[in-house]
Amino acid sequence: MSTTLGMRFVPTVGIVAINRLAVVLLLALQALAAQPGASNPLAGPLRELQFGQINFLHTTDTHGWHAGHLLEPSFSADWGDYVDFAQHLKDKLEAQGRDLLIVDTGDRIEGNGLYDASEPKGLFTFDIFREQHMDLICSGNHELYQQNSSENEYLITVPAYASSYIASNLDIRDPRTGEFVPMAPRYKKFTTKEQGIRIMAFGFLYNFDRNYNNTIVQRVEQTIQEEWFQEAIHDPDIDLFVVAGHSAIRSEEFDMIFKKIRSVRKDTPIQFFGGHYHIRDYRKFDSNAYGLASGRFMETIGFQSIDGLPSNSTQKTAPTFFRRYIDNNLYSLYHHSGHDSSTFHSDRGKNITRALHEARQALDLDQTFGCSAKDLWMSRAPYPSKNSIFSWLEEQVFPGIVNDTQRGDKPRLVISNTGAIRFDIFKGAFTKDSTFIICPFTSGFHYIKDVPYNKAKKLIKLLNGGGEIFAQVDATLALSRLEPVQQKGILQDIIVSETVDPAPLFAQGGHEMRVPTDVALIPGYTTIDDAGDDGDDTIHSPISFYRVPNCIQSLINPQAVDLETENVDVVFNEFIQPWILVGLKFLGLEYTDDDVAKYMPDENMTTMIAKWVSLNWPDDC
């Protein structure tokens, strides 16, 4: 591995600084792809890719962010740029006799205006996504919540990737025949073009159970007993197993698949690609088996290479595995492909970039509802605090907007799970796009009326600290399902000291890290995984991560009545209804689904936040 020190505008003196400034300006002028108005990438120190016989690019959990992050320089490249990057890398590698395979592990929809703002949803995204060649692709859980999204998968995405979509444990009711059929083939056996590596590939989904009833997700432990799977792993002519799966790489599901393959193939290399937890992660299963998770929201393009596989040459060596998390911006993509702004962008890539821009315009995603005076963070600020998005919801948004006129001034507890929020709010324009980015969920609020306050007030404590008791009632009620998904993979706070003072800053039970002071680095991912701390392509300064509770709550009491002997309405987002009912039961209150009604039936959290912003934030940024 070598390190390239990139350019960065820092206030130093002399000719060096002038050169650096010139390079930065040049970069700013020439970075003409990505979306119009997107932040230009900042040059930073980069770690190189290490190529192997076989190489992979991996995306996961893109959730509609195919236009990239317009407000964040580190992630400002779009899907058109990724298509160009993949092609350039493929050309470069194939010229050296190496292979490149492209993988996506699902959750391509829901979470960005580009997908969610159209009617029907996804009107523009399917055609844009399929412009990227894929060698392996599978479904995430988000494709399966709604009947129409899974049917889009079956009728649009599967045919577009007829030779690469794999559905090892997923069936769908064919809308044309009414019969349940496999979403796609169960496995794929193929030989790579350059190296002749013989691959057996699978496409799994974790044991997901909240799908709409037009799909069936077979539990992984059952699938791996099936005859077709047994035959596939007993196939003697396989050099490498590739398991693409929408699953955390540190999951029971991947453990089971790994053990099952190892029970018959004791050292055949296995490469897992996973996701779902929205984190960068790399797991060593054993010396011949690794798993890569490539983040979320088009922030990361995962790179994996393997060398030392049996191939055309008969030499038998131990395989070596290498991973890198590429920040999705043009500075990184130019560098790793060996191109610059004058050679990188093809007509094909530019057409995709243009299609994305036109879709964003047609959807009016830049329409501004108001201007945020500061950043509001999910996990970069402690909760509660003035910079926490959850404190903002609890203290300002819910009290300001959650009010069903049918219930008048009835005192109420408004409870939401923190997992309902998906992203930060940045200082500046809060747009139509922002509403879907921070909360793409279309489900509304529900309520139970006239619940004794002295019991209802204990609900939040149960939801946040109830431990195993909910899961003991029903395994699907594990409380961890309420928290933001990226928190599942980060089990303790990471608190970054912002001072250069030598006095260490300790987080209770957490990691403490210190920002290096010798280089001015851009804050960003500083991943630590099973291969160490050098996985990120861009060397960043670290960012704090504060865990948040499962749920937040506002107590709204307009008449300031004494609540102790009073009844209140318990209002909650629809998703958490099963936990609310079980929680109330623990508190001695028997309610069923029949006691639940819709609260503000024409609204949902997304529309309510948009309304609150329109009413409360100035609209000229």
Among 573, 548, 582, residue whose Cα is nearest residue 476: 582
Q: Judged by CB, which is closer to Zn ion: 74, or 139?
A: 139
Torsion of CA 137, 142, 143, 149, to 10 degrees: -150
**Minimal distance in Å, beta carbon 537 to Zn ion?**
22
Q: Judged by CB, which is closer to Zn ion: 293, or 584?
A: 293
Q: Is 483 a residue that touches Zn ion (CB under 5 A)?
A: no
Q: Judged by CB, which is closer to Zn ion: 145, or 187?
A: 145
- The residues near 125 (Cβ < 8 Å, ≥ 6 apart) are 64, 66, 108, 109, 114, 115, 359
Q: Is 419 a residue that touches Zn ion (CB under 5 A)?
A: no
Looking at 140, 245, 411, 466, which residue binds Zn ion (CB under 5 A)? 140
Residue ranges in 301-452 assigned as alpha helix (H): 330-337, 347-362, 389-392, 398-401, 432-438
Residue ranges in 153-265 assigned as alpha helix (H): 158-160, 220-223, 227-234, 252-264
Q: Judged by CB, which is closer to Zn ion: 106, or 542?
A: 106
Q: Judged by CB, which is closer to Zn ion: 276, or 357?
A: 276
**Minimal distance in Å, beta carbon 446 to Zn ion?**
24
Length of the chain: 621
CA 279 vs. chain centroid, Å, equals 7
Residue 117 contacts residue 67 (beta carbons within 8 Å) = no
Looking at 72, 78, 99, 107, which residue binds Zn ion (CB under 5 A)? 107
Which range of residues in 39-47, 61-69, 84-92, 392-400 is near Zn ion by CB under 5 A? Answer: 61-69
Looking at 125, 141, 332, 379, which residue binds Zn ion (CB under 5 A)? 141
Residue 202 contacts residue 136 (beta carbons within 8 Å) = no
Q: Judged by CB, which is closer to Zn ion: 274, or 444?
A: 274
Residue 33 contacts residue 330 (beta carbons within 8 Å) = yes
**Minimal distance in Å, beta carbon 104 to Zn ion?**
12
Residue 58 contacts residue 301 (beta carbons within 8 Å) = yes
Give, rounded to a whole angstrom, the gap between the first and last alpha carbons of the chain. Answer: 44
Q: Is 280 a residue that touches Zn ion (CB under 5 A)?
A: no
**Minimal distance in Å, beta carbon 378 to Zn ion?**
15
Q: Judged by CB, which is closer to Zn ion: 64, or 349?
A: 64
Which range of residues in 99-107, 174-182, 285-293, 542-550 is near Zn ion by CB under 5 A? Answer: 99-107
Q: Is 276 a residue that touches Zn ion (CB under 5 A)?
A: yes
| CA 326 vs CA 181, 186, 427: distances in Å | 37, 30, 26
Q: Which two tokens stand for residue 332?
A: 């990184």
**Minimal distance in Å, beta carbon 494 to Zn ion?**
21
Angle at 32 between CA 26 and CA 35, to 5 degrees: 135
Q: Judged by CB, which is closer to Zn ion: 141, or 168?
A: 141
Which range of residues in 102-110, 221-229, 375-383, 491-499 is near Zn ion by CB under 5 A? Answer: 102-110
**Minimal distance in Å, beta carbon 422 to Zn ion?**
9
**Minimal distance in Å, beta carbon 106 to Zn ion?**
7
Q: Is 61 a residue that touches Zn ion (CB under 5 A)?
A: yes
Which range of residues in 139-147, 220-228, 250-258, 560-568 is near Zn ion by CB under 5 A? Answer: 139-147
56 φ, ψ to 5°? -130, 145
Total interface residues for Zn ion by CB under 5 A: 5
Q: Judged by CB, which is closer to Zn ion: 277, or 572?
A: 277
Among 135, 139, 138, 108, residue whose Cα is nearest residue 124: 108
Q: Which residues bind Zn ion (CB under 5 A)?
A: 61, 107, 140-141, 276
